[in-house]
């Protein structure tokens, strides 16, 4: 089974699953209707954090969040928005998730995050670093992509050519999973457009960001305050 067919199959199954879980996620959000000071983790994947509202379309921790104390996990398609009350969140965090949404869905979700945050609260967004990836390509800097090679992330790439373009294609498209790529200017523009008053470039923060070599090598960190 080639990668293109597997991706199409995964996408179809994801769409079917998103429809089937929508009722369950609505019940979970209703339980939070009168709750404030929420810490929300969007597109958490397996990084399910105690004390946070962890949201993803796929179950985290192998589908068993009861393995971690004080965990709330909501299986929800974020293309449908963030149905939390206005001004109910003290922080919203997302790492390597927004590039999986098209720009329209991403901007609508950013707007929902702005609405849900209380005044003065923070949204922290981590996405792949477009500028650094293309700078390494233009400068023929193969060492920049060594972490991708060490993690063997390109091993399943069909018709790999062993050129620098292979690395760029993986970073940009990731087998068709990425829908929109941001640089700092574009991300700041979209965040400001939905209402964020102060948007700043940031650096890796060990108290919040995943410390893996892969994430640190290819991430753009941005803070936005309501």
Cα torsion angle, 189, 194, 195, 200, sign: negative
**Rounded to a whole number, what is the distance in angstroms from the first to the last CA of the chain?**
47
pLDDT in tens, 126-182: 999 999 999 999 999 999 999 999 999 998 787 899 899 999 999 999 988 999 999
CA 115 remoteness from chain centre: 19
pLDDT in tens, 28-56: 898 898 899 999 999 999 899 999 999 99
SS3 29: helix
Residue 14 predicted with pLDDT over 90? no
SS3 41: strand
Which run of H or of E encompasses 137? Answer: helix 130-138
Full-model pTM? 0.86
According to the model, what pLDDT value does residue 64 have? 47
- Looking at domain 3-225, its CATH class is alpha beta
According to the model, what pLDDT value does residue 4 have? 56
According to the model, what pLDDT value does residue 70 have? 75
According to the model, what pLDDT value does residue 83 have? 95
Q: Average pLDDT, stretch 69-83?
A: 89
Give the residue with greater pLDDT, 7 vs 143: 143
Tell me how far CA of residue 33 lies from CA of 36, 122, 139, in angstroms: 9, 20, 51
Q: Where are the domains of the chain?
A: 3-225
Residue 19 predicted with pLDDT over 80? no
Residue 2 predicted with pLDDT over 70? no
According to the model, what pLDDT value does residue 107 have? 98
pLDDT in tens, 89-135: 999 999 999 999 999 999 999 999 999 999 999 999 999 999 999 99
According to the model, what pLDDT value does residue 201 have? 96
Cα torsion angle, 136, 141, 146, 149, sign: positive
According to the model, what pLDDT value does residue 199 have? 97
Q: Average pLDDT, stretch 191-196?
A: 98
According to the model, what pLDDT value does residue 67 have? 46
Confidence class for position 7, pLDDT limits 50, 70, 90: low
SS3 14: helix
According to the model, what pLDDT value does residue 1 have? 53
């Amino acid at each position: 089974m080639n990668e293109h067919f597997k991706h199409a199959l995964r996408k179809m199954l994801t769409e079917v699953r998103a429809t089937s879980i929508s009722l369950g996620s609505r019940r979970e959000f209703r339980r939070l209707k009168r709750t404030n000071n929420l810490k929300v983790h969007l597109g958490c994947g397996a990084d399910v954090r105690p004390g946070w509202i962890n949201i993803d379309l796929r179950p985290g921790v192998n589908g068993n969040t009861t393995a971690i104390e004080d965990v709330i996990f909501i299986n929800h398609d974020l293309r449908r928005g963030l149905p939390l009350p206005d001004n109910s969140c003290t922080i919203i965090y997302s790492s390597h998730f927004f590039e999986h949404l098209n720009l329209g869905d991403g901007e609508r979700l950013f707007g929902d995050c702005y609405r849900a945050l209380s005044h003065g609260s923070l949204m922290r967004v981590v996405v792949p670093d477009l500028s650094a990836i293309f700078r390494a390509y233009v400068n023929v800097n193969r060492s920049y992509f060594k972490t991708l090679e060490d993690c063997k992330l390109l091993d399943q790439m069909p018709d790999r050519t062993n050129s620098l373009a292979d690395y760029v294609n993986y970073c940009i498209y990731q087998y068709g999973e990425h829908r929109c790529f941001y640089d700092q200017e574009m991300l700041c523009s979209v965040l400001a457009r939905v209402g964020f008053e102060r948007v700043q470039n940031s650096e890796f923060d060990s108290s919040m960001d995943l410390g893996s070599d892969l994430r640190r090598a290819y991430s753009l960190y941005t803070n936005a305050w309501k």
